Structure 1
Amino acid sequence: MAETDREIKDSLVRAGRPDRVEGRHVNMPVELGSTMVFDTLAAFEAARAERYRSGTLYYNRYGNAASFKLETALATLEGASAVTLTSSGVAAITLTLMALTAPGTHLLVADNVYGNTRAFCDGVLAGQNVEVEYFDPMIGGRISALFRPNTAAIMFEAPGSGTFEVCDAPAIAEACRAHGVTSVFDGTWATPVFCRPLSLGVDVLVYSASKYISGHSDCMLGVVACSDADLAMRIRKHVMAVGDKTGGQEVMLVLRGLRTLDVRMKAIDAAGRRIADWFAGQPQVKRLLHPAFESCPGHEFWKRDYSGAAGLFGVIFHPCADDDVRAFVDALRHFGIGVSWGGYESLVLPVRPVRTAQRWDEPGPLIRFNIGLEDTQSLIDDLDAALPLMNTGLEA
């Protein structure tokens, strides 16, 4: 793990930089444009024939020098055969699932996936006669019992969206390989600094680079990374066929964010654990859903497969009135209320889990916290001042 950590730190600084020429800039420029021209018809035809291959300059929708640099950098960090960029994390998920399924196929989806993943599966894929089945994310290798002859893929993530369970990803991936089922894993939470899912046996890794990778809440971009080159090309052609495209400024902003990813993630890890530990000592708190703590389901898998923790976690409080939850959230001064996370700012959001394969039966409110780069004691003081508004009847 130490050697991998060292390689990642070096790659974050060195990968995806301009080619080595004297007097070069340290950063790739923002590359804007649409048409690329050629001096000979033979050169144009050669580029057209290879237009789906990363690195081929043909037309800007297929990529340019800067986006190819970012794809190469991310492939290096993830240990991937190839990477394709998309316009958002949602696009990375939906376009991948569209490429892997067809009418009449069966798709297995973890019950704790991102809400937009669930919405796409139920609202789009199901309408195209793809049979979507949700499963308990903690099933591990027993997932084999759910495979059918027409099972095309499985979509899962860790930690789970909102509830932060950490599944046994290697066991699920191994079962998929044994049955010829493509495994798709949403790895947005950990980033390659803390986990490289392809090394755990996953076939396809998708994530939102709008979150920690860019790190500044100023752009949207998605990533599809594949362990197999043929599978990567299949998905890339689908992305290109629907016309999805990343912008030049977004590519530059993600390349910029990469340079500080390691130091940001480690600072956020330390701050997140300190604040989670503070929450664990508060009488209003029933359970902490932070993968680095034993109270979180799958903590043992987090210890085995991850080298650190992101600053996004959940807290289940003892039952109280909805108005108390609103009063607590509204009283916070250092925490914005927003649906995203992974930037430099701290966020708070009440969560109402949606479940299909199992019931969510916690009676108390669940609130998600994203810990940013503010002073950690300032965040604790803010939470401490607002928490008495949560009238759970269990206050000290």
Structure 2
Amino acid sequence: MNDRSDRTRLIAGATRRGHGRRPVAPPVERASTLLNDSPADMRDGSTGPIYGIEDLSAARELRLALADLEGAADAWLVPSGLAAVTVPLTALLRPGDEVLTTDAAYGPTRRFLKRHLAPRGVTTTFHPADADAGAIIAAINERTRVLLIESPGSLTFDMVDVAALTAACRARGVITIMDNTWAAGFAFKPLEHGVDVSVQALTKYVGGHSDLLMGSIAAVDPGVSRHIAETIEDLGWRVTSDDAWLALRGLRTLPVRYAEQARSTHLVAAWLQAQPEVADVLWPALPASPGHALWTRDYAGAASLVGVVMQGGDEAAAHALMSALELFGLGYSWGGFESLITHETGQLSIRRHRPALAGELLRMHIGLEDPADLIADLEKGLAAWRAARDN
């Protein structure tokens, strides 16, 4: 079965599960107390979960499917994408350790490093988002315990050579953790490229419908896996059966949605590149992107999340553009069926190495709407932007 594509395996895992007449999807079990036939059975974990805080049927099946997708020995579920990042950091770092990560790190991850880990004796060094592998490796020192990778990086979509970084880290005894939400464990396989821990926000593409919060953590090394599993157990972080069922439903159609939204994004991104109001489109799948060579070498697809750098303008012009749109929702997150837009220039101010952009930065998520309709909607947005800029 391992020679089959991800697209096939994600569905075959449902149709070939179990015996006898059964539903395609596992049942949703809502339970805290689980009853036993005898006193001796009450602590016998070999017969299944002992208490409702442990994973029930839908969560167990979701974990198996994710482990198969990621090529992991095990995968764990946590209540949010942020928790998927903070759990392994909590599990693997000790006072005196250092984290090395990109200056483009996801904002809440950066907050956790500063507000939670720093007072507990863990320091963080931020390398420039556009640094090459050699410069990042040169920043590793004797205190570096974890290299936290985001590729593409948040907002500016900077790419790094993951294989080169993991090889150098393994030689130095540094653990690598990669936030792989953009590739959804599907378009890029971190563990196959030497990463120790692969994490993603299932909230995004796996859920696919903007109706749940969840994260996943996948690993292969037994020692690393044990620390993560024990930390999750000690923190008591689990997901509900209802949310696990929804995520499992979304996972079955992930490859088709991912590919279709990428197709639309190519069309929209190429159109945006040709507009005089747009200075740059930040998306590694575009041939003009600085990270395109790495994306071509390592990735089997592209997420439908892009950065759009305007030619000058200000916050008022950016807000005018956003307000004129009818098909793009004004909201955070991405990976769902709907298109979204956010204004992100302000978030760049927290970086130590602020990128030199030609104007305001917008982030767009391209959903499953007809791309021709999205382009027509953006034409209205650009007209509003011009009017506000020239006013």
Q: How big is each residue's C-alpha offset from its partner over 1:267-313, in whole Å with a ceiling of 9 and x where there is no partner?
A: 10100000000001100111110111133232111111101111100
Q: Kindly state the Cα deviation for residue 324 of structure 1 after the two structures are TM-superposed.
A: 1.3
User: Partner of 1:252 in structure 2?
Assistant: 245
User: Partner of 2:42 in structure 1?
Assistant: 44
Looking at structure 1, the residues matched to 303 and 276 of structure 2 have their Cα atoms a distance apart, in angstroms, of: 25
Looking at structure 1, the residues matched to 229 and 301 of structure 2 have their Cα atoms a distance apart, in angstroms, of: 31
Q: Give the letter aligned to residue 11 of structure 2.
A: V
User: Partner of 1:280 in structure 2?
Assistant: 273
User: Partner of 2:376 in structure 1?
Assistant: 381
SS in 1 for 2:336: coil
User: Partner of 1:168 in structure 2?
Assistant: 161
Looking at structure 2, the residues matched to 66 and 234 of structure 1 have their Cα atoms a distance apart, in angstroms, of: 24
1:5/1:280 CA distance change after superposition, 3 Å: farther
Q: Give the letter aligned to residue 92 of structure 2.
A: L
Looking at structure 1, the residues matched to 329 and 2 of structure 2 have their Cα atoms a distance apart, in angstroms, of: 35
1:82/1:109 CA distance change after superposition, 3 Å: same
Q: Is the 8 A contact 1:18 1:24 kept in 2?
A: no
Alignment of 1:1-396 (within 5 A): 6-15=4-13, 19-47=17-45, 56-137=48-129, 138-352=131-345, 353-354=348-349, 356-391=351-386
Q: Which moved further from structure 2: 222-231 or 369-378?
A: 222-231
Q: Kindly state the Cα deviation for residue 42 of structure 1 after the two structures are TM-superposed.
A: 4.0
Q: Is the 8 A contact 1:289 1:315 kept in 2?
A: yes
Q: Give the letter aligned to residue 391 of structure 1.
A: R
Q: Kindly state the Cα deviation for residue 363 of structure 1 after the two structures are TM-superposed.
A: 4.3
Q: Kindly state the Cα deviation for residue 209 of structure 1 after the two structures are TM-superposed.
A: 0.4
Q: Which runs of 5+ in 1 are unaligned?
A: none
SS in 2 for 1:153: strand
Looking at structure 2, the residues matched to 252 and 342 of structure 1 have their Cα atoms a distance apart, in angstroms, of: 18
SS in 2 for 1:259: helix
Q: Is the 8 A contact 1:85 1:224 kept in 2?
A: yes
Looking at structure 2, the residues matched to 240 and 221 of structure 1 have their Cα atoms a distance apart, in angstroms, of: 16
Q: Give the letter aligned to residue 308 of structure 1.
A: G
SS in 1 for 2:178: strand
Q: Give the letter aligned to residue 101 of structure 1.
A: L
Q: Kindly state the Cα deviation for residue 136 of structure 1 after the two structures are TM-superposed.
A: 2.3
Q: Kindly state the Cα deviation for residue 23 of structure 1 after the two structures are TM-superposed.
A: 1.2
Identity %: 36
SS in 2 for 1:296: coil
Q: How big is each residue's C-alpha offset from its partner over 1:111-132, in whole Å with a ceiling of 9 and x where there is no partner?
A: 1111110111111111211111
Looking at structure 1, the residues matched to 317 and 140 of structure 2 have their Cα atoms a distance apart, in angstroms, of: 45
Looking at structure 2, the residues matched to 97 and 194 of structure 1 have their Cα atoms a distance apart, in angstroms, of: 24
Q: Is the 8 A contact 2:104 2:351 kept in 1?
A: no
Q: How big is each residue's C-alpha offset from its partner over 1:161-188, in whole Å with a ceiling of 9 and x where there is no partner?
A: 1111111111111111111111000000
Looking at structure 2, the residues matched to 160 and 121 of structure 1 have their Cα atoms a distance apart, in angstroms, of: 16
Q: Kindly state the Cα deviation for residue 394 of structure 1 after the two structures are TM-superposed.
A: 10
Q: Give the letter aligned to residue 11 of structure 1.
A: R
SS in 1 for 2:53: helix
Q: Which runs of 5+ in 2 are unaligned?
A: none
1:298/1:355 CA distance change after superposition, 3 Å: farther
Looking at structure 1, the residues matched to 279 and 389 of structure 2 have their Cα atoms a distance apart, in angstroms, of: 10
Q: Is the 8 A contact 1:183 1:204 kept in 2?
A: yes
Looking at structure 2, the residues matched to 178 and 31 of structure 1 have their Cα atoms a distance apart, in angstroms, of: 45
Give the superposed CA RMSD: 2.1
SS in 2 for 1:192: coil
Looking at structure 2, the residues matched to 85 and 192 of structure 1 have their Cα atoms a distance apart, in angstroms, of: 14
